[in-house]
């Protein structure tokens, strides 16, 4: 299924061209990789990667998405061929957007999924903490997130809901530093969540991982026939994939866990990041490759989906959740249920 068929190109200066039915990756006119087109569903390019016009035409003809991200993983553009989608499903989606009750309930489910998964990250950290003081601090923060969950039913507007989510995120990020191995904390201390641009190494790594999850969620929604621009929790703005951002909320803690793994296992160190003029921090090209490989490996992990009551690779879960979102849009009796691990 659609798990390992995304080609991530992180080599700065790489040139992608069409070679019969194959995509060829060249660096300084030397061929580094050949991939048959029929193996691909998407090509994701980071930073300064060039593409030939014949290749872009062929990708569009074959329905293979081309996604352009900047060096830090921020979304810039997406090229796709003719979209078929599901006009009736999209019509229902837009009708749901006008239904204030459905919009609020679905947004609440997305926030609940995120907070529950974040809470599990903190609880796991408390269990594995090396000191009682840190275990107690993490447990208190997990309890604060439990209070945020209890506050969700009383949030009677999207603004109120976003307020609960924002406070829960602030508490959660304040605890992530305690999950970093002590000898790595000087290099990877986070002073809250910063983006556009990230101001420290931890934030730079999170932004990069979020960008890849975001791309997977957007692709999953399009595969399900939904419009990724029309979301329920995130405000509608031109060019903003609001529904993809909604779906991604429950997967952010998975990105956080992978970031912690990469840091705590010393797979990334200070020399893997660059500080730009103005204080922006970015991943070095070789480090981007390390993160992409780890991300792809993590998506192979078998997890138990509580609703399906079966195991499946983590990388397929966005596709499952997108279909559950489509079911919720079609069927009033089947509200959206976020992915929450036990």
What's the Rg (C-alpha) of the chain? 20
Which residues are within 8 A (CB) of 158 and not within 5 positions of it... i.e. 6 or more apart? 103, 104, 107, 233
How many whole angstroms separate alpha carbon 229 and alpha carbon 240?
A: 6
Which residues are within 8 A (CB) of 235 and not within 5 positions of it... i.e. 6 or more apart? 242
Which DSSP string corresponds to 30-75? EEEEEEEGGG-SEEEEESS-EE-HHHHHHHHHHT-EEEEE-TT--E
Query: Residue 8's beta-bridge partner residues?
Result: 44
How many whole angstroms separate alpha carbon 70 and alpha carbon 249?
A: 22
Q: Is residue 234 part of an annotated ligand binding site?
A: yes
Distance, C-alpha 14 to centroid of its chain: 25
Q: Is residue 48 part of an annotated ligand binding site?
A: no
Structure tokens at 281: 């921090």
Torsion of CA 197, 290, 251, 298, to 10 degrees: 180
The angle formed by the CA atoms of residues 152, 191 and 133, to the nearest 5 degrees, is 75
How many whole angstroms separate alpha carbon 149 and alpha carbon 168?
A: 9
Annotated binding site for Mn(2+): which residue ranges? 165, 234, 249
Annotated binding site: which residue ranges? 165, 234, 249
């Amino acid at each position: 299924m659609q798990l390992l068929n995304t080609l991530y190109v992180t080599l700065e200066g790489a040139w992608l061209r069409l070679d019969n039915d194959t995509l060829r990756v060249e660096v300084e006119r030397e061929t580094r990789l050949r991939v048959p087109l029929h193996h691909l569903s998407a090509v994701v390019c980071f930073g300064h990667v060039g593409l030939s016009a014949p290749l872009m035409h062929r990708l569009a003809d074959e329905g293979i998405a081309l996604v352009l991200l900047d060096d830090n993983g921020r979304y810039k553009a997406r090229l796709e061929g003719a979209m078929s989608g599901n006009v009736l499903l999209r019509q229902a989606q837009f009708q749901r957007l006008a239904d204030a009750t459905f919009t609020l309930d679905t947004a609440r489910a997305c926030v609940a999924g995120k907070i529950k998964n974040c809470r599990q990250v903190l609880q796991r950290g408390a269990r594995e903490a090396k000191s009682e003081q840190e275990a107690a601090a993490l447990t208190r923060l997990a309890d604060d997130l439990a209070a945020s969950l209890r506050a969700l039913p009383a949030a009677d507007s999207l603004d109120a809901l976003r307020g609960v989510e924002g406070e829960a995120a602030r508490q959660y990020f304040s605890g992530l530093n305690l999950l970093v191995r002590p000898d790595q904390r000087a290099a990877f201390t986070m002073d809250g969540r910063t983006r556009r641009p990230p101001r420290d190494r931890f934030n730079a790594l999170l932004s990069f991982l979020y960008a890849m999850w975001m791309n997977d969620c957007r692709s999953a929604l399009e595969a399900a026939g939904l419009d990724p621009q029309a979301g329920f929790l995130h405000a509608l703005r031109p060019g903003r994939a609001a529904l993809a951002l909604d779906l991604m909320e429950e997967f952010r803690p998975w990105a956080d866990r992978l970031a912690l793994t990469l840091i705590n296992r010393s797979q990334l160190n200070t020399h893997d990041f660059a500080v730009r003029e103005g204080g922006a921090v970015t991943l070095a090209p070789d480090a981007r490759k390390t993160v992409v490989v780890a991300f792809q490996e993590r998506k192979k992990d078998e997890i138990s989906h509580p609703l399906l009551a079966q195991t499946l690779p983590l990388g397929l879960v966005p596709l499952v959740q997108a279909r559950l979102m489509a079911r919720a849009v079609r069927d009033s009796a089947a509200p959206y249920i976020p992915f929450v691990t036990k």
